[in-house]
Amino acid sequence: MRLSRIADAIGARIENVSPDAEIAGVSGIDRALPGQLTFVHNPKYATAARTTRATAVIVDEKFPAISTGMLRTNNPYLAWAKAVELFYQPPRYAPGVHPTAVIHATAKIGKNAHIAPYVTIDEDVEIGDNAVLLAHTVIYRGVKIGHNFFAHSHSVVREFCQIGDNVLLQNAVIIGSDGFGFAKDDSGHWHKIAQSGNVVIGDNVEIQANTCIDRANVGQTSIARGAKIDNLVHIGHACTIGEDALLCAQVGLAGTTEVGNKAILAGQVGVSGHVRIGDGAIAIAQSGIPQDVPAGAMVSGAPAIDHKLWLKCCAIYPKLPEIAKAVRKLSE
């Protein structure tokens, strides 16, 4: 398609290249060829932008001029995401129910559903219009799901959980597994605590592969509208995840953790139970959080502390042997 059409679609202005230039696809900046579009979001790739063979590069409004054609925008990463959508069309699934699917007679499924091989839908389930359930998806009894639900293969939604509109489950997601609750009896044995609650997921949530979200002992585990949860995340019983929160791979939340709106937990962040992470807070990768984090704070380390303080500590760590030696001499 012509570059001018792409610019209109992504909200960018063309610079240093003909609007009639033909673009046949998108590619990473190191591998892009003439006739392709690429982008720069991370400053570390600024040099590559000057040598790329792409016909045009999506860049920030303040990016220095280069000889290659440019599409300037205030949000190059978002513009890139929209550009990719112009060239990639995901598979579409025709409405229909495969003969190997098992659907209880009391289940109610909306219009245009695609039910793939070996899907199981239990009694009293309600699913809205335009659902896609791929092979081996299992929906337990009493589950309520909104419109435009998409479950990749081997996803499981346990009994009585509730899911809003436009929710996407990647492969092998488990919604509503039992919370990890045990009470020790007088003999020192562990007595299982019944997990009688459920999981409630709002609209426009995406949960990626092999993530587990536990049901509450009582009440609910809650995932608010627009939250995005990466692969291999564990969310313990009765946790609350705020709107547009972002949880990256291998984050682990102990029970009754609260994550505020638009908070970001980077990879492998661990949070102990009954902790509140405020709105807009950011936890750097591998942070260990044992206590509340204020709204808007950025924390790092284990135990997590203010990010700037943590950077200073990191600068000192390699010098600790010398410091210890100097202290010993002073002591002597």
Instruction: Tell me which of 152, 154, 234, 237 is the catalytic residue.
Output: 237
- State how beta strands 190-192 and 182-184 pair: antiparallel
List C-alpha distances in Å: 301 to 18, 251, 269, 285.
49, 14, 9, 8
Preceding amide of 91 cis, omega within 30: no
* Cα separation, 14 vs 7, whole angstroms: 7
Q: What ranges in the chain are assigned the alpha helix state H? A: 3-10, 46-51, 76-87, 307-316, 320-331
| Neighbouring residues of 302: CB distance < 8 A, sequence distance ≥ 6 | 270, 286, 287, 288
Q: At which residue do the structure tokens 């709107």 appear?
A: 243
Is residue 152 among the annotated active site residues? no
CB-based contact 270:291 (threshold 8 Å): no
| Catalytic residue ranges | 237
